[in-house]
Structure 1
Amino acid sequence: MVSSGTPAAAPLLVLKKISDILDAFSLRKPELTLTDIREATGLPTSTVQRLVGNLVANGFLDKVGDHYRVGLKMAFWAAPATQNLDRLEVVKPVLRDLRDKLGETVCFFEASMNYRVCVAMAETRHMLRREMKVGRLLPLHAGSAGRVLLAWNDELLRDVLADSLDQLTETTITDRSSLSAAVEQTRRDGYAITTGERQTGASGLSAPVFDSQADLLGAVTIMGPTLRMPLEVCERWVEDLLAAAEQVTRMLGGRHPDDAAGRRTPSGKASTLPQGSPS
């Protein structure tokens, strides 16, 4: 008979520590030092050194100088899990969790021709809400989701800039150079916040989701009335938004195209647009 005492439980404790170490890595922090790992996990230095050494020896982690990153062997193991996975079935629970946490409508947008289309959503329970439905087509040059979809698709951006930029509200960007600058700022920040660009009195913030080839899949968007989502509220929600977008990306086996180039970690502040451009 197998004992149910402490010795049998010990391996589970080791697995929990290994899980904590692997969880310390993210798309925004793909490389960590031993000090970073210790601070993220709260584990003793000796434990971190011992477990990280074993993880490197077995291919779970790769060592680059004095930094570590998740090993390519992990990607090999993850491939069967993402094979034939319906991305919307991955997206929907994340949208619902974010909606339940923040209280506002959360959508997933994809590019379709020269438009953006809502392909999934979790609607707010507030009576006052921004009208949205799955399948709705919207312009790409106005709003935070469009900004994100353009920021990582140069061909789509060229197509949009070659067309007319319709004035939808008083703050819609209709100048091509201003739109180009705003899109570039979005790429540097890793997210976008807009207010009143597509609809007066409405705010939105969006972040990108990528596939395994680091190609853009779509944008996770939080949207609602500016009355409940003024700029300062949107700024507070940036980290929650980025965490949700990263969760979807990782569950789909994706990676961020700018990680190798040292993408800046977002600070939680809104994008600083060029002079004369609306927020």
Structure 2
Amino acid sequence: MYGLRPTKVDASSANPYDGLQNRTVFQMQADDADKGGVAALDRAFAILGVFQPGERALSLAEIARRTGFYKSTILRLLSSLERGGFIRRLDGNYSIGPEPLRLAQIFQESFHIREVIEPVLRQLSDDSGETSSFYVRQGEYRVVLHRVEPPRSVRVSIREGERFPIDRGASGKILIAFSKPSRATHDAVRERLWALSYGERDPDTAAVSVPVFGPNSELAGALTLSGPKDRLGASDKMRGACNLLLTSAARATAALGGDHRLFAYGIALAAQFDFALPGETQKA
């Protein structure tokens, strides 16, 4: 999950599927087939959706608890998912199979930007000492397409393929601001070309994110630096991170066939911007 390493786990929030409310959410997702989907597929996707990073395997009882589905229904769907390589049995329990990894690799390759973004991320992480990442939008989520973590004991740790709600975090603001239709609430982000986050997803982290563009100023994704709030959240550190990101995004944009001149105003503005403004430190 998105957080600091090492970290303390709050027992009250250790399992995001505790309680009737979360279970009902998955039932509602599966029932969306009435709106034009296929019920069996929606339920299968709901089952896959309850597996989280760091969990080696789940029991049938736990899957039933998290989804709210009958065990008989789950067993039928697990059988199909296992044949397709999406699920595998592990010591009487169930874990994610190899097929999602193959699809994830195809997903990454479909953007044709790995060779551009990965060197940029490595340089950003080396220069800043923080975690660098590149997000793309997937509906109402932001997905970690690529990431590089620094060799520090305390750092923000995320995994490629992880997804987070798009309405929280610096990268989410960028992906919303430069998506169509545009929102008036994100006019300032579009103007200056960066977004900040102070403890929005994790109270101990801070992040800065900027857009990367392709041809015709189409958004390619959000380039992000994130770190411990007490280290990265200081005004001078945020300014330095923002400058690094903007210049790196300009180079990446040029390499992808976009117009690097789009970043000139943002770079000039960042040099004089007060990153400690109270309005910037409030949670969005």
Query: What TM-score do you get using the length of structure 2 for normalisation?
Result: 0.54
* C-alpha distance in 2 between matches for 1:188 and 1:118: 24
1:104-253, aligned counterparts within 5 Å?
A: 104-155=130-181, 181=185, 183-232=186-235, 233-253=237-257
Residue identity opposite 1:197 in structure 2: E
In terms of fraction of residues, the more helix-rich structure is 2
Offset at 1:131? 2.4
| CA shift digits 1:42-86 (9 cap, x unpaired) | xxxxxxxxxxxxxxxxxxxxxxxxxxxxxxxxxxxxxxxxxx993
Residue identity opposite 2:238 in structure 1: C
* C-alpha distance in 2 between matches for 1:276 and 1:89: 34
Go from structure 1 to structure 2 and tell me whether the alpha carbon gap of 1:93 and 1:275 turns closer, same or farther (over 3 Å shift): closer
* C-alpha distance in 2 between matches for 1:85 and 1:137: 17
- The answer to whether the 8 Å contact 1:186/1:271 transfers is no
Greater relative contact order (Cα < 8 A, sep 6+): 1
Would you say 1:100 and 2:103 are equivalent positions?
Answer: no
Go from structure 1 to structure 2 and tell me whether the alpha carbon gap of 1:130 and 1:256 turns closer, same or farther (over 3 Å shift): same
* C-alpha distance in 2 between matches for 1:213 and 1:191: 19
Go from structure 1 to structure 2 and tell me whether the alpha carbon gap of 1:144 and 1:85 turns closer, same or farther (over 3 Å shift): closer
* C-alpha distance in 2 between matches for 1:85 and 1:138: 20
- The answer to whether the 8 Å contact 2:132/2:223 transfers is yes
* C-alpha distance in 2 between matches for 1:217 and 1:93: 16
- The answer to whether the 8 Å contact 1:185/1:273 transfers is no
Give the share of equivalent positions with the same residue, in percent: 28
Stretches of structure 1 that go unaligned for 5 or more consecutive residues are 1-83, 159-179
Go from structure 1 to structure 2 and tell me whether the alpha carbon gap of 1:119 and 1:239 turns closer, same or farther (over 3 Å shift): same
Go from structure 1 to structure 2 and tell me whether the alpha carbon gap of 1:135 and 1:103 turns closer, same or farther (over 3 Å shift): same
Go from structure 1 to structure 2 and tell me whether the alpha carbon gap of 1:186 and 1:150 turns closer, same or farther (over 3 Å shift): same
Match 1:90 to one of 93, 102, 116:
116
Stretches of structure 2 that go unaligned for 5 or more consecutive residues are 1-109
Match 1:278 to one of 265, 273, 283:
283
- The answer to whether the 8 Å contact 1:214/1:256 transfers is no
Count of residues paired in the alignment: 171
